[in-house]
Amino acid sequence: MTAPAWSLKPDDRGRVLLSLSGDWRLAEAGSIDVVPVLAAVDDRSGVVDVVVEGAGLGQWDSLLMTFLIDFRRGCAEREVMVDVTGLPAGVQALLKLASAVPERKGDRRVATRVCWIAEWGEGARGVWLDALFITRFIGEITLAVVAMLARGPRFRRIDPWLQIQECGPSALPIVSLISLLVGLILAFVGAVQLALFGAQIYIADLVGLSMTREMGALMTAIIMAGRSGAAFAAQIGSMNVNMEISALRVMGFSPIEFLVLPRLLALILVMPILCLFSDLMGILGGGLVSIGFFDIPLTQYLQRTIESVHLPDFLIGVTKGALFGILIALAGCVRGVQCGHSASAVGNAATSAVVTGIVFIVVADSIVTLICDRLGL
């Protein structure tokens, strides 16, 4: 392997000759700077013509090509002609290929720097447009629900059941675990404070009312947003990428009726049941803490729970659960439908579904809690 080399000198016919020799290979030689060569051309004032010859060239690859391309460009700027007929045939063919399709004006993307105020403005506008899209989507779902009630469902009969199986029983383990732990934590933190007043027995009230009215529905909803919301977005997003949604539309199916309604119905049915389950697991968790750390007998804990938690509390929690189910399905399906056409787009859709779902849930929760407070429920 001989090092790449070049030399610029007049030839015996009065032209300027650029001789290239050696092995010009990327891996071995790194890069050859074209600036000194062009400087050498500049030194020879009045030169109009450079002939490149490569009789001494050994093995070459893209290193030689990039060098020649840069050299030709530099010469073109100096209005110097370059003759490459003295180079190996392969080099000449590649040079011709590389310049065969010149860059079209307007094709190259230019990075634009945007000031942060403009970025914030664009972001806000994006949120506004998103809100419009979601509102429209809600409208379409409403129409689809009305149509379904009027003339029967236009989705496969088995689809809601498949979705129920995915959202329901499969979620029981994680909902149980997290609800148990939340009940446990609530009881522990609360009881420590209550114990200061000798009022530990009121753990039962604390855990029971918190779980049934708020935490059961909220924790279950957040879990389901992560599970089902992301799943819906990814399923529908992938179908979008694969042209399956276009195929459905061409076959006369409404994607809203065929894909969104089964998922919506599944969550509306499943969420209240999961919430109830979550309530019970939370109360159990509180019970474990009471027995284990605060010497409250189980019977006394349960008795106190029954006294303090009433049917309206369960109903509020369960209703919230159903509402959150609607919001999760909405977020998941909207993001799936909006999904772009690449693998990363599907991932983004899933992430966005979870975030949007959680935002919807928490905002809705605040509103419902406020309403309940005003109505004295």
Partner 1 sequence: MTESVIAVKNLTLAYGDLLIQRDLNFSVNRGDIFVIMGGSGCGKSTLLMHLIGLLQPARGSVFYGRQDFWRADGKTRETLMRKIGVLFQSGALLSSLTLAENIALPLARFTSLAQRQIDSVVSYKLALVGLAGFEDYYPAEISGGMQKRAGLARAMALDPEILFFDEPSAGLDPVSAKLLDDLIKSLRDGLGATVVMVTHELSSIFAIGTESIFLDPETKTAIASGPPRRLLGESRDPKVLRFLTRDHSAPEVLA
Residue type, position 311, single letter: L
In angstroms, the CA 183 to CA 206 distance is 10
Residue 19 or 163 having the CB closest to partner 1: 163
Residue 190 or 332 having the CB closest to partner 1: 332
Residue type, position 265, single letter: L
Residue 13 or 109 having the CB closest to partner 1: 109
Which residue shows structure tokens 């809690």?
369
Q: How far is the CB of 104 from partner 1 (least distance, A)?
A: 11
Q: How far is the CB of 247 from partner 1 (least distance, A)?
A: 4
Using alpha carbons only, how large is the chain's radius of gyration in Å? 36
The per-residue b/e assignment along 296-311, b for 16 or more CB within 10 angstroms, e otherwise, is beeeebbebbeebbee
Q: Binding partner 1 by CB under 8 A: which of 53, 61, 70, 244?
A: 244
Site size with partner 1, rule: CB under 8 A: 16
The piece of 63-71, 233-241, 261-269, 364-372 that touches partner 1 (CB under 8 A) is: 233-241
Is residue 242 involved in binding partner 1 (CB under 8 A)? yes
Residues 1 and 60: beta-carbon distance below 8 Å? no
Which residue shows structure tokens 């009121």?
202
Coil, strand or helix: which one is 84? strand
Q: Which 345-364 positions form the footprint of partner 1 (CB under 8 A)?
A: none
The piece of 189-197, 243-251, 264-272, 302-310 that touches partner 1 (CB under 8 A) is: 243-251
Is residue 154 involved in binding partner 1 (CB under 8 A)? yes
Q: Binding partner 1 by CB under 8 A: which of 150, 250, 311, 375?
A: 250
Is residue 150 involved in binding partner 1 (CB under 8 A)? no
Q: Which 253-272 positions form the footprint of partner 1 (CB under 8 A)?
A: 253
In this structure, is the dihedral angle defined by the CA atoms of residues 8, 9, 15 and 21, taken in order, positive or negative? negative
Is residue 148 involved in binding partner 1 (CB under 8 A)? no
Is residue 239 involved in binding partner 1 (CB under 8 A)? yes
Tokens describing residue 258:
């065929």
Q: How far is the CB of 179 from partner 1 (least distance, A)?
A: 31
The piece of 178-186, 220-228, 232-240, 328-336 that touches partner 1 (CB under 8 A) is: 232-240
Q: Binding partner 1 by CB under 8 A: which of 243, 298, 359, 370?
A: 243
Residues 59 and 25: beta-carbon distance below 8 Å? yes
In angstroms, the CA 361 to CA 358 distance is 5
Q: How far is the CB of 28 from partner 1 (least distance, A)?
A: 37
Q: How far is the CB of 251 from partner 1 (least distance, A)?
A: 5
Binding pattern for the stretch 84-103 against partner 1, x by CB under 8 A and - elsewhere: --------------------
Residues 92 and 54: beta-carbon distance below 8 Å? no
Q: Binding partner 1 by CB under 8 A: which of 238, 300, 308, 348?
A: 238
Is residue 48 involved in binding partner 1 (CB under 8 A)? no
Strand spans (E) along the chain:
5-10, 16-24, 49-60, 81-86
In angstroms, the CA 19 to CA 11 distance is 10
Angle among Cα 172, 174, 179 to the nearest 5 degrees reads 95
Burial of 354: CB neighbours in 10 Å, binned 0-12, 13-18, 19+: buried
Is residue 3 involved in binding partner 1 (CB under 8 A)? no
Residues of the shown chain interacting with partner 1 in the complex, contacts defined by CB under 8 A: 154, 156, 235, 238-239, 242-244, 246-253
